[in-house]
Amino acid sequence: MKKILVANRGEIALRVMKSCRKMGIKTVAIFSEADANAPFVKFADESVCVGPPPSAQSYLLGDKIIEICKELEVDGIHPGYGFLSENAEFTKKVTAAGITFIGPSPEAMQLMGSKLAAKAAVKSYGIPMVPGIDEAITDIPLALKKSKEIGYPILIKASAGGGGRGMRIVANPEEIVEQMDMAVSEAISAFGDGAVFIERYVGSPRHIEIQILADQHGNILHLFERECSIQRRHQKVIEEAPSAVLTPELREAMGKAACDVARACDYYGAGTVEFLYENGEFFFLEMNTRLQVEHPVSEMISGVDLVEQQIKVARGEKLAFTQEDLKINGHALEVRVYAEDPKNNFLPDIGTLEVYKRPEGDGVRVDDGFEEGMEIPIYYDPMIAKLVVWGEDRATAIRKMTKAIEDFDIVGIQTTMSFCKYAINHEAFVSGDFDTHFVKHYFSDTSVLDVNDKDMLEVAALMNNYFLSNNEETANYAPSDEKSNWENRSN
């Protein structure tokens, strides 16, 4: 593989290209008119404008991207995440055109893209699942009967998609009809698929995911877990590896289960298997058939370049290491730096990066796609950067992250870094005693803030109101990102 086109933009495009350059592979960038001067465009060996700023007129034009590949004699396409990364039809077209898709097969994408199909596929492996119904349900009397058997509260979930859309908590039988109608309507609107199912509501879960890696020769291994429980609107905000809660025995059991999920769909490439964890039990949630936003924390504790491995697997190479070769080294934290104003209900903040100075130091990594003087485009996800740190242990990583946040100098727009600093220094996070309801439980609690810091008090209160009143996914990382550009988010 001598030339790879990266069918994405911003920080992930640049991150993929860096691994390609390290491997001696030339890169092609595609870009919209809004991204003409972006760092990833300058970094690539070749670049082609694919259209105007809206992603539906540029980054989502699969046929046009394939034509560019043919014209430039591209060997492979790396989709990053979001946009076309989990589009099975695009993957089929890429393969039919004689180009290597750097990712799993379209069959694996389709199977794991449906929560119901995924449940059916993994059943024979004895993987723990939340008690519930493993088939689509529309009949209200049957829903009432099954819900009584499961026990309230129950959760109605859309089979397709994610991000909290098509998901409804039901506390009692009287709510079933209304909540099912709303869940089906949301699912149809968001995913074009109104199939929903019912399962027990796990009240205080932690969100723990396992990074897996598999080649095309049947070799499957995992690179341990990531804890992604700090969320707002079902959107991950802070990620860490490893989790503060898993014992070695649980880690081994969850790692084996994740590898079995990959076996169930004949998976190859890098992927993530997500689980809910509560009171010593874990339950299969879903599989993401792509690279995750938070993959850097797994790279930092394992020493494995996941993009490099994706490319090698796509070339047909066998994995050069085994599960026994992998060890957890230290602790890593990642926070996402968004161009949003926490003092204005966390709305996107449009402007120019008048000052943009990245933090530096041993164990500090910044994955970004901006430079000082650049305008923040309004058309895409508002993430400016992923700030990642590594420490010898969790306490050291928290201290390093606090300092890195303080050293990250951004002037000209408002960012979410005050939120990140508040969260990682909260006593619940520091102790490791938290779940996915962290925001609901603690963001009205200002006891850990300096009482003289009025700005931070205001930030905490506004965060609490905003996070609890919104349920929209930031969808540059969802299969259909057109619903989540800034214009839609601010309406």
CATH of the domain at 136: 3.30.1490.20
CATH of the domain at 56: 3.40.50.20
Percentage of residues in the chain with pLDDT exceeding 90?
70
Q: Residue 127 phi/psi, 5° resolution?
A: -80, 130
Identify the three-state secondary structure at position 436: coil
Q: pLDDT value at position 491?
A: 31
Q: Do 178 and 219 sit in the same domain of this protein?
A: no
Q: Do 289 and 384 sit in the same domain of this protein?
A: yes
pLDDT digits (tens, 9 = 90+) for 189-234: 888 888 888 999 998 999 999 999 999 999 999 999 999 999 866 7
> How many Å apart are CA 357 and CA 362, to the nearest integer?
16
Of 290 and 166, the one with more pLDDT: 290
Tally of domains in the chain: 3
Q: Residue 90 phi/psi, 5° resolution?
A: -65, -45
CA dihedral 28→29→33→35, nearest 10 degrees, is: -150
Whether residue 109 is predicted with pLDDT greater than 70 in this model: the reply is yes
Q: pLDDT value at position 195?
A: 85
Residue 117 lies in a domain: no
Q: Choose among 363, 323, 342, 356: nearest CA to 420.
A: 342
Q: Can you state the percent helix, strand and coil of the chain, rounding each to 5? A: 40, 25, 35
In terms of pTM, does the model score above 0.85? Answer: yes
Residue 110 lies in a domain: no
Q: Do 25 and 69 sit in the same domain of this protein?
A: yes
Neighbours of 248 (CB within 10 A): 8
Q: pLDDT value at position 316?
A: 98
Q: pLDDT value at position 137?
A: 84
Residue 438 lies in a domain: yes
**Domain ends where: 170, 200, 230?**
200
Residue 112 lies in a domain: no
Q: Do 273 and 419 sit in the same domain of this protein?
A: yes
Whether residue 108 is predicted with pLDDT greater than 50 in this model: the reply is yes
Q: Do 260 and 393 sit in the same domain of this protein?
A: yes
Whether residue 484 is predicted with pLDDT greater than 50 in this model: the reply is no
Residue 348 lies in a domain: yes
Which H or E run includes 327?
Answer: none
CATH of the domain at 433: 3.30.470.20
Domain that holds residue 170: 131-200
Q: Do 419 and 383 sit in the same domain of this protein?
A: yes
Rg (CA), the chain: 22
* Mean pLDDT, residues 310-317: 98
Which two structure tokens, joined as six digits, stand for 201? 């509501």
* Mean pLDDT, residues 121-134: 90
Q: Do 415 and 298 sit in the same domain of this protein?
A: yes
pLDDT digits (tens, 9 = 90+) for 50-91: 999 999 999 999 999 999 999 999 999 999 999 999 999 999
Q: pLDDT value at position 163?
A: 61
Neighbours of 360 (CB within 10 A): 9
Q: Judge if the upstream peptide bond of residue 153 is cis by omega within 30 degrees of 0.
A: yes
Residue 111 lies in a domain: no
* Mean pLDDT, residues 290-302: 97
Residue 188 lies in a domain: yes
Residue with tokens 């897996």: 212
Which residues participate in catalysis according to the annotation?
A: 290
Q: Do 280 and 323 sit in the same domain of this protein?
A: yes
**Domain ends where: 200, 233, 252?**
200
Residue 234 lies in a domain: yes
> How many Å apart are CA 155 and CA 276, to the nearest integer?
14
Average pLDDT, whole number, for the chain?
A: 88
pLDDT digits (tens, 9 = 90+) for 19-31: 999 999 999 999 9
Which H or E run includes 104?
Answer: none
Q: Do 151 and 247 sit in the same domain of this protein?
A: no
C-alpha 119 chain-centroid distance: 21
pLDDT digits (tens, 9 = 90+) for 414-464: 998 988 999 999 999 999 999 999 888 887 544 443 434 444 445 455 445
Q: Residue 171 phi/psi, 5° resolution?
A: -90, -25
* Mean pLDDT, residues 37-55: 97
Instruction: DSSP for 46-89, please give it.
Output: EEEEEESSSGGGTTT-HHHHHHHHHHTT--EEE--SSTTTT-HH
Q: Do 243 and 291 sit in the same domain of this protein?
A: yes
Q: Do 448 and 392 sit in the same domain of this protein?
A: yes
**Domain ends where: 82, 102, 122?**
102
Q: Do 221 and 368 sit in the same domain of this protein?
A: yes
Which two structure tokens, joined as six digits, stand for 253? 């059991």
Which two structure tokens, joined as six digits, stand for 340? 């949003």
